[in-house]
């Protein structure tokens, strides 16, 4: 304690130490920089000191390599202080260092879910020996994994590792923001028989400095942000890579050092940005969610946000990067391009002030990861029976609603399509799977989330600036086209398609690359309802400026007045058209869209806030009748409606493993992403009872 400069433990560390030393599984909640890492690691290291493990005794897992690298020095200090060692294992660590670790394992292994899978699939890693005395797993930023394919993947890998040890592995999740910690704890426990608890000490309220500014253009945003950023260290969060590039280019040459940090900027560029930012005093990193997790970029003065994130959780994570120094307030300034993101920012702030944060919905029919794990098991064992696969996978909570018969249907389909091959009752990797996932020694298989085809962008000196997706590269013309990357404009000199490389030189201006797919961003019900509450209100908000207040006032006089007139449905009728302002969120509105389209020749467009319904017979009588029919479970349970919905669903590609699924399971994935029938029924019943 004296060496660390501490005089006492924080409440979260006191509470966690009792729970963990008692042998309980736990979810530990505390604000960013609130001491969660120490709350988990100190009692764990204490137990490892009492009886040093034979091999790895504790695995510390982080969602991203950058967070691992960031924690390596701190955990190295803690392990060294008690006479133990820690080892960092991920794709950037030298093979020679990994061989030394295998020869002489450290007590604490720091890794990512994908690297852990890689260890299981490697014939050079003696799993049974390495994990024979594994006692505990600590998962940092658990909210970033739970409810996602990567979370399912992690639990699957942990259950496979658990077969190598007689110990009931203690499981600990760390998070700053999660609305349903008890459910996350139940999910995390898996097959562990230990008691569990949530460590959530009372939060000490502290003043925040929050602002929402409505500005017409990105140039106006950049001008104002540069004035505020002058002489400070700031993070500027953007909701897309293209907007980050645009903002960064406009911020340059305004007196502040500007760096760009997103997934298409090269690792070297991102590392350099973090390093130079750490050393500087007048610098800004323009980033996407890549810097949302708890990576330490040094003392931070300000957080800016272009438009608004889609969740309260993201806002709290980002704001939590500031206010860590004595006398400094946590802060966020939102710069919004139009009223809709400004309303979203206001609603997020209001929900956070109420102490509300999203719950994470845990899945129990994770089809793409089931495919992934089947292929991984064939790679790990060479050949394995379907029965043994089921035995290993059925214990994972995220597969708990998949029946044995459905599992057999999946196996049969993968055999027909060549993803699996069967001989002597054993499954092995099929030719089709090797063609699709076998590149670079099956690196495509290690990562659960999809990796698009990328072209490296290089200067004449051979420096890699970053990467571009093929769809954008296909539109580029040599010696003519220019684009933004790393916050700078580049002209294309040459495109080498065989090497997937683009040679560039600096250009005076460029266009934004087009990134990402066409899958819509779905906002949650509570956030959209809060936007409606803001519109229906009339009180001024202390954290918005005059232009924003004027725009909000106009919206309150217009749509807000319509919302105040009715306690039930707010539907605006025009000839052959209706606008239904539900503010119910993306999933409920898309569910309502398909329900209304069934049996009606109506054209319907749904977003997070409304449905636009067009057709010859659209009116109060026909629409009212349709809504009354839709409020029953029987309506949605009808096989003909189910078939209709499946036939109308868009062909979203949510996972690279989707292509290996039978059609009914692939469509189920899209349906579960886009629709929420139980919530839509509740919504209709509540609203129609008020009408």
Q: Residue 175 pairs with which residues in a beta bridge? A: 29
pLDDT of residue 297: 59
- CB-CB contact of 328 with 543 (8 Å): no
What's the chain's average pLDDT? 88
Measured CA to CA, the distance from residue 370 to residue 402 in angstroms comes to 10
307: alpha, beta or left, given left = phi > 0 and alpha = psi -120 to 50? left
- Read off the pLDDT band of 443 (50, 70, 90): low
Tens digit of each residue's pLDDT (9 = 90 or more) over 535-559: 999 999 999 999 999 999 999 999 9
pLDDT of residue 368: 94
What is the enclosing helix (H) or strand (E) of 428?
strand 426-429
The answer, yes or no, to whether residue 644 has pLDDT greater than 90, is yes
Q: Helices marked H in 30-180 — which ranges?
A: 36-50, 65-81, 95-103, 113-121, 127-130, 149-162
- Read off the pLDDT band of 505 (50, 70, 90): confident
Phi, psi of 74 (to 5 degrees): -65, -50
Segment 142-163 shows an average pLDDT of 94
Tens digit of each residue's pLDDT (9 = 90 or more) over 41-100: 999 999 999 999 999 999 999 988 878 887 888 899 999 999 999 999 988 889 999 999
Handedness of CA 522, 524, 529, 530 (dihedral sign): negative
Strand runs labelled E in 74-116: 86-89, 108-111
The answer, yes or no, to whether residue 519 has pLDDT greater than 70, is no
- CB-CB contact of 150 with 2 (8 Å): no
Measured CA to CA, the distance from residue 372 to residue 409 in angstroms comes to 16
pLDDT of residue 395: 96
pLDDT of residue 675: 96
Longest dimension (CA), the chain: 78
Q: How many CB atoms lie within 10 A of CB 549?
A: 14
- Read off the pLDDT band of 452 (50, 70, 90): low
The answer, yes or no, to whether residue 451 has pLDDT greater than 70, is no
The answer, yes or no, to whether residue 8 has pLDDT greater than 90, is no
Tokens 């994972």, residue located: 396
Tens digit of each residue's pLDDT (9 = 90 or more) over 96-148: 999 999 999 999 999 999 999 989 988 899 999 999 999 999 999 999 899 99
Q: Where are the domains of the chain?
A: 11-199, 208-353, 367-446, 454-506, 566-690
Question: What does CATH list as the number for 367-446?
Answer: 1.10.10.10
What single DSSP character describes residue 180? -
Asked: is 11-199 a CATH 3.40.50.300 domain? The reply is yes
In sequence order, what DSSP letters do the residues of 389-435 get, joined into one string?
A: HHHHHTTSGGGTT--HHHHHHHHHHHHHTTSEEEETTEEEE-HHHHH
pLDDT of residue 263: 61
Cα 169 to Cα 143, 296, 653: the distances in Å are 20, 29, 35
The answer, yes or no, to whether residue 154 has pLDDT greater than 90, is yes
Measured CA to CA, the distance from residue 263 to residue 501 in angstroms comes to 17
- Please state which architecture CATH assigns to domain 208-353: 3-Layer(aba) Sandwich (3.40)
Which pair of tokens denotes residue 47?
A: 């137990």
pTM: 0.86
Share of the chain above pLDDT 70, in %: 90
Topology agreement, domain 11-199 and domain 367-446: no
């Amino acid at each position: 304690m004296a060496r660390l400069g501490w005089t006492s433990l924080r409440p979260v560390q006191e509470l966690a130490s009792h729970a963990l030393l008692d042998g309980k599984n736990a979810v530990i909640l505390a604000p960013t920089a609130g001491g969660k890492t120490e709350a988990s690691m100190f009692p764990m290291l204490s137990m490892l000191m009492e009886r040093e493990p034979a091999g790895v005794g504790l695995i510390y897992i982080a969602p991203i390599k950058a967070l691992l690298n960031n924690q390596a020095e701190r955990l190295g200090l803690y392990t060294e202080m008690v006479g133990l060692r820690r080892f960092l294992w991920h794709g950037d660590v030298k093979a020679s260092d990994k061989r030394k670790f295998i020869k002489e394992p450290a007590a604490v292994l720091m890794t990512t879910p994908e690297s852990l899978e890689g260890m299981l699939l490697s014939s050079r890693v003696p799993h049974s020996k390495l994990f024979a005395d594994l006692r505990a797993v600590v998962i940092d930023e658990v909210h970033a994994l739970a409810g996602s394919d990567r979370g399912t993947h992690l639990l699957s890998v942990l259950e496979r590792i658990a077969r190598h040890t007689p110990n009931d592995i203690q499981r600990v999740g760390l998070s700053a923001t999660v609305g349903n910690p008890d459910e996350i704890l139940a999910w995390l426990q898996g097959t562990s028989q230990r008691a569990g608890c949530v460590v959530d000490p009372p939060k000490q309220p502290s003043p925040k400095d929050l602002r929402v500014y409505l500005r017409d253009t990105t140039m106006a945003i950049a001008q104002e942000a540069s004035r505020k950023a002058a002489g400070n260290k700031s993070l500027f969060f953007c909701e897309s890579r293209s907007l980050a590039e645009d903002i960064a280019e406009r911020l340059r040459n305004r007196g502040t050092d500007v760096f760009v940090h997103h997934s298409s900027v090269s690792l070297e560029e991102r590392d350099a940005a973090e390093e130079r930012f750490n050393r500087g005093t007048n610098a800004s990193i323009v980033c996407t969610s890549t810097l949302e997790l708890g990576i330490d970029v040094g003392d931070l003065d300000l957080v800016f946000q272009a438009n608004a994130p889609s969740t309260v959780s993201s806002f709290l994570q980002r704001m939590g990067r500031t206010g860590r120094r004595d006398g400094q307030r946590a802060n966020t300034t939102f710069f919004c391009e139009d009223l809709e993101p400004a309303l979203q920012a206001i609603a997020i702030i209001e929900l956070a002030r109420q102490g509300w944060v999203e719950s994470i919905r845990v899945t129990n029919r994770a089809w793409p990861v089931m495919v992934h794990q089947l292929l991984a098991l064939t790679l790990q064992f060479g050949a394995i029976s379907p029965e043994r696969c089921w035995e290993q996978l059925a214990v994972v909570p995220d597969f708990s609603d998949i029946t044995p018969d459905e599992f057999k249907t999946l196996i049969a389909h993968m055999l027909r399509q060549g993803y699996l091959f069967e001989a002597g009752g054993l499954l092995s990797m099929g030719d089709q799977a090797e063609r699709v996932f076998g590149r670079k020694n099956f690196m495509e298989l290690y990562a659960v989330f999809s990796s698009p085809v990328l072209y490296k962008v290089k200067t004449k000196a051979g420096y890699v600036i970053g990467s571009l997706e093929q769809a954008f590269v296909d539109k580029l013309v040599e010696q003519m086209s220019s684009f933004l990357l790393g916050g700078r404009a580049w002209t294309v000199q040459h495109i080498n398609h065989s090497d997937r490389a683009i040679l560039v030189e600096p250009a005076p201006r460029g266009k934004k690359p087009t990134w990402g797919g066409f899958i819509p961003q779905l906002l949650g019900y509570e956030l959209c309802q809060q936007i409606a509450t803001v519109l229906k209100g009339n009180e001024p908000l202390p954290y918005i400026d005059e232009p924003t207040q004027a725009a909000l006032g106009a919206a309150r006089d217009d749509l807000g007045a319509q919302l105040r007139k009715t306690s039930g449905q707010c539907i605006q009728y025009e000839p052959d058209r209706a606008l239904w302002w539900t503010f119910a969120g993306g999933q409920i509105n898309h569910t309502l869209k398909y329900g209304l389209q069934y049996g009606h020749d109506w054209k319907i467009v749904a977003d997070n806030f409304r449905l636009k319904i067009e057709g010859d017979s659209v009116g109060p009588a026909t629409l009212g009748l349709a809504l009354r029919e839709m409020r029953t479970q029987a309506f949605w349970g009808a096989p003909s409606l189910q078939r209709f919905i499946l036939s109308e669903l868009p062909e979203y590609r949510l996972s690279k493993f989707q292509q290996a699924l039978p059609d009914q399971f692939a469509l189920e994935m899209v349906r579960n992403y886009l629709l929420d029938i139980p919530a839509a029924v509740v919504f209709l019943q509540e609203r129609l009872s008020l009408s």
